[in-house]
Structure 1
Amino acid sequence: MRQFIWALVLLSPLSLAASPQEEITQVITAQQQAWNQGDLDSYMKGYWQSEHMRFVTQNDFRYGWEPTLAAYKKHYPNKAALGELKFTIHHIQLLSDVAAIVVGRWELTRQKDNPKGVFTLLMEKIEEQWLITHDHTSE
């Protein structure tokens, strides 16, 4: 009986650990919440803070965390422009223990319009945190 109890004590933290898919979903959910609070600086915590981070949209290739944040702040200068963001994750495919592809949809609800589109993210586990290292977003 004592061995059974010790086994439960030793294994219980394992059952509490989140799966990579859950950790990735948490990052994207936190981004959605930050956006909807008008906090682009917190939104960007989901991205790899590196000059090697890539963002591709429409006809634009952007390299680096800082230029990406600056572009977000330029295109979404206030809460009305930000609107209400909703992400829908359709699929998370683990490529390895430290890399995953995330495919989904995004939708903005604003007073003047309702833009929406799709995204494909490469997320990598860097220093024990899942971060977006490549974002391809389109309408």
Structure 2
Amino acid sequence: MKKLVVFVLFLFVITGSQAQTPADRKAILAILDRQTADWNAGNTAAFMNGYWKSDSLTFIGKVGITYGYDATLSNYKRRYPDQASMGTLKFTILKLEFQARNVAYVIGKFQLTRPKVGDAEGYFSLLWRKINGQWVIVSDHSS
């Protein structure tokens, strides 16, 4: 019985140590950097490359819940139809932790500098999953 307990604890420790790797952290931060650059270039479609291309994607904002990649992209295009409304985006990452081997959680702040239409800022939480070897946002709650 003792051997079984030790073996289970060993597996737990090994699995837990694989939950967070420097490469995974760098990959997620690189995606957020790329999204910032794409947004600031006025390219909403490229910005969306960080999101899961699935009908199961969820985006929670001040107007409610949006389900699906296409609907989320459509909402972005409607709310930010041009470069002036998009402005310049800056993310400040407040927390990045790995809940499991292929699950990450990010909390951050966004700032939009928009001289013509007024600045905007708020906070976000992102649930990430590593699917087919690629980190993607599966749920975004921004307010």
TM over 0.5: yes
Corresponding position of 1:19 = 23
Give the alignment's TM-score, normalised by structure 2: 0.83
Matches of 2:52 and 2:131, distance apart in 1 = 8
Matched, 1:75 2:79: yes
Deviation at 1:59, TM superposition (A): 3.5
Matched, 1:54 2:58: yes
Size of the aligned set, in residue pairs, is 122
Deviation at 1:92, TM superposition (A): 0.5
Give the alignment's TM-score, normalised by structure 1: 0.85
Residue identity matched to 2:38: A
Matches of 1:114 and 1:102, distance apart in 2 = 23
Counterpart of 2:110 (choices 106, 109, 115) is 106
Corresponding position of 2:67 = 63
Show CA shifts across 1:82-128 (max 9, x none).
Answer: 00000111110101121000000000000131110000000000111
Runs of 4+ in 1 over 3 A off after TM superposition: none
Corresponding position of 1:136 = 141
Gaps of 5+ in 2: 1-20
Matched, 1:120 2:125: yes
Matches of 2:83 and 2:130, distance apart in 1 = 31
* Cα-Cα RMSD: 1.1
Matches of 1:90 and 1:129, distance apart in 2 = 22
Gaps of 5+ in 1: 1-16
